[in-house]
Amino acid sequence: MKIKEIEEEYKDEWVLIACKDIDENFNVKEGEVFYHSKDKNEVYRKMLELRPKDCAIEYTGKVPEDLAVML
């Protein structure tokens, strides 16, 4: 599933994605959705349970401009 399709289908949710294709900046271009939820913690718990390889967690909603993200 292309990232745009994921963003449309799971709007305003946290999504655990098995990456099939990423760009040179490591942004997900295509993948398979393993799990999704409005609750970020549920998605992280599912990731720990499944332990998928080559995965990403993405938020499909608008991120506030004053929000800082740490990796």
Residue 70 domain-assigned (yes or no): no
Which pLDDT belongs to residue 23?
95
Q: Provide the residue type at 58 as one letter.
A: E
Predicted TM-score (pTM) of this structure: 0.86
Residue 65 domain-assigned (yes or no): no
Residue 69 domain-assigned (yes or no): no
Residue 47 domain-assigned (yes or no): yes
**Structural domain range at position 47:** 3-59
Which pLDDT belongs to residue 38?
95
8, two tokens: 């449309």
Residue 14 domain-assigned (yes or no): yes
For the chain, how many structural domains are there in total? 1
Which pLDDT belongs to residue 70?
67
**Which parts of the chain register pLDDT below 70?**
69-71
Phi and psi based region of residue 53 (left: phi greater than 0; alpha: psi -120 to 50; beta: remaining)? beta
57 Cβ contact list (under 8 Å, min separation 6) = 14, 15, 16, 17, 40, 43, 44, 47
